[in-house]
Each structure stands twice: as structure tokens, then as C-alpha cells.
């Protein structure tokens, strides 16, 4: 199925979880937040929360600057 990751379409296996997507994109598991359809998914739900077809995924990276 296709999902949209930071504005770009991407093919992922059906029933991909947030944790699965993070692994597939080779992202660090720390210091990022994932929003599904504009709602941040808490880290404790990454392993269980599944992406639906066409889901809009936004990856937010923590920044330290001020």
C-alpha cells in the first residue's frame, strides 16, 4: 500500500506499524516523533499502531537550538 511520508508517496507492506516504518526508513529510534494524519503517535504505541493506506506520515526531528 502507499502512504505519504513527509509529502512523498512511499510503498510499504500492508499492516506496517509505525515501528516498522521507522525501521524500514532506517531512522534512529530516539529523538524523532512520528505524526499519523497530524496526530503524534506516542512512543509506547509505535509497535502496535498500524498505518492505513494513504496515511499521511510526518517525521519530526528533535532540535536543540535556541
Partner 1 sequence: MPFEPLVKTGRELSGEEVTRYARHVLIPGVGRDGQERLAAARVLVVGAGGLGSPALLYLAAAGVGTIGVVDADVVELTNLHRQVIHSDADLGRPKTESAQAAVARVNPHVEVIRHDVTLDSANALEIIRDYDLVVDGTDNFPTRYLINDACVLLGKPHVWGSILRFDGQVSVWWKGHGPCYRCVFPEPPPPGVVPSCAEGGVFGILCAAIGSVQSTEAIKLLLGLGEPLTGRLLVHDALRQSWDTLTVRADPECPVCGDEPSITELIDYVEFCGVPGAPAAGEGAVPEVSVRQLVDELGGSRPPLLVDVRGTEERAIASIPGAVPIHLDRFRSGDAWGELPRDRRVLIHCKVGGRSAEATRLALRAGYVDVANVAGGVIAYLREIDPSQPEY
Comparing CB distances to partner 1, the nearer of 13 and 31 is 31
Estimate to the nearest angstrom the gap between the alpha carbon of 54 and the chain centroid. Answer: 13
Pairing between strand 56-61 and 2-5? parallel
Does 64 interact with partner 1 (rule: CB under 8 A)?
A: yes
Contact segment (CB under 8 A) with partner 1 among 12-20, 27-35, 47-55 equals 27-35
The answer to whether residue 30 forms part of the interface with partner 1 (CB under 8 A) is yes
Cα–Cα distances in Å, from 38 out to 57, 64, 65? 8, 22, 24
Residue 9 pairs in a beta bridge with 4
Residues that bind partner 1 (CB under 8 A): 28, 30-33, 35, 38-40, 42-44, 58, 60-66
Amino acid at each position: 500500500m502507499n502512504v505519504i511520508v513527509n509529502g512523498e508517496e512511499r510503498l510499504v507492506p500492508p499492516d506496517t506499524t509505525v515501528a516498522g516504518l521507522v525501521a524500514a526508513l532506517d531512522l534512529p529510534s530516539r529523538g524523532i516523533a512520528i505524526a499519523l494524519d497530524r496526530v503524534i503517535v506516542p512512543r509506547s504505541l509505535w509497535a502496535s499502531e498500524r498505518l492505513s493506506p494513504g496515511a499521511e506520515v510526518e517525521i519530526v526531528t528533535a532540535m536543540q537550538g535556541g
